[in-house]
Structure 1
Amino acid sequence: MTAIRSTTTTTRTLGGPGRILRLGAGRAVYETRSYFRQGDSLFFTFLFPTVIFVIFAVAFGSSGDVGAGPDGTGGISMAAYYLPGMAAAGVLLSGIQNLAVDIATERSDGTLKRLAGSPLPVLSYFLGKFGQVLVTSILQLLLLFLVARLVFGVELPGDAEHWARFGWVYLLGIATSAALGIALSRVPRTGKSASAVIVPILLVLQFVSGVYIQFSVLPDWLQTFASVFPLKWIAQGMRSALLPENFAAAEPGGTWDVGTTVLVLVAWLIGGTIVSLLTFRWNRKDA
């Protein structure tokens, strides 16, 4: 009888799959609305890749095409060259920076403690966060692509194969970034220090992962260091989908190395998910 009551209580607390999904969807709507009401989030995560893309495209646009032959043909504009890197940066910021700072703030200001006393299951909370990241990152990419195409005339892929590759790189990248964002939310001691802790880490990764600087011009030891982390592979995967095939020659090994991209991102996704499940708590870190 005690076992039956225990099972019933657990079921009521966790809820069935339908209830978890329903509450997760409702939470995702709430999280998305809250996201677009925050001015700092809008600029530093949502608009940031597009703003940096415009700056780079304008600043370096007069330097000529990238990868052009001796006769001046066959290259692509600087805007087209920087587009994959900015898309990868957007995935990183939407997943890791957004969630790490947001969850750390919610833990510090008592939001998570209040949610602990509500009927909301932890899985529904995670689904809400991931739903918000998925929606906002897709809108972010659409804005970036619209600006690239309409303002700078960047030619986007015209075949299903490249868009399919872009799709799986994006989905795997955003899932990995979201898992790592939840895991990293335990690092800042307070919500106020979250940005100061998380942003510098991600800024360094962007500079060494082929987002702002061509990856092949970095020292070998720095390339090896960056290759451990997922952003390098997200950026390389984006380049494989958005740049002409001959640009693979500029990558380490002279290929897009799609297989390694999948393996590295899946490894980080599994690792981030495990760490998130083991370390996530409703209460404050110092409680």
Structure 2
Amino acid sequence: MYNTKSISNSFPTIRVYLYGGQVTSWKNNSGEQQLFLSKKASFKPPKAIRGGIQICFPQLGNHGVLEQHGFARNRLWSVDESPPLPDTTSDCHIDLILKQSEEDMKTWPHSYELRLQVALSPRGDLILTSRIKNKNADGKPFQFTFAYHTYFSVSDISEVRVEGLDTLDYHDNLQSKIRCTEQGDAVVFESEVDRIYLSAPPKIVTIDHEKKRTFVLRKKELPDVVVWNPWDRKAKAMPDFGAEEYKCMLCVGAARIEKPITLRPGEEWQGRQEISPVPSSYSSGLLDPEMIQQMQRI
């Protein structure tokens, strides 16, 4: 098993694996796990770790000769010894870096630096900041897409709703990526869902009715949102996923998919995802005052 790094701000804790540069655990003040990690997850190459927060670069999905969701999630990262100045006031963070390997150059012939900062805010929010820089010496630009494939732990998928995506267009990966429009006031789950919502607002809310917990996701330079649950049939077909585990997880993550990023040599792109878990209840569309205050926070 590859080395892990843990960071803690009082009681909230995060565990990060160097394999995949992946957050696999995030516990709140009460020691409650916020992220889903499959009991069947593999921690050895070439499989990515099933759960936590996967870094999908330089693509999401399966295109061309690259691995599914790109190679960043199944490479060994290093601790960044010379990180840039943090964009957070938190002094509780870890910085990782991934550079091209000879193996990567065979399928994606570009020189790059991918930096990831994982931070805990003083109140326990989880903040991920990624920086990608074009280091090509031949003057060539490169293009990529990016996603934080975030697996939330939920009580019961049938009791979860995602708000903030109403009226948006999305690509439905279950229907050959056709473009559809969200008709409901919230996304609810009664069967498999695999969608990329386009040009979403900067704040998305995932409400877990049974746990009375809400995840408020804020994002920057990541206009799209990935929403995924495999449901029963696909769950049974995945060797690194329990047959019944689809009931207690949901992927909602910030992404940049519809409009790929192009970087010229020397240019850098930065994207950010921040998640705040807040107590909530849901009754006739009314949210707890504390949650509303959290959502309005800048």
TM range, normalised to the smaller chain? under 0.3
Asked which structure has the greater RCO (Cα within 8 Å, sep 6+), the reply is: 1
TM-score, length of structure 1 as denominator length: 0.26
TM-score, length of structure 2 as denominator length: 0.25
Query: Could you say which structure has the higher strand fraction?
Result: 2
Q: Which structure would you say has the larger Rg? A: 1
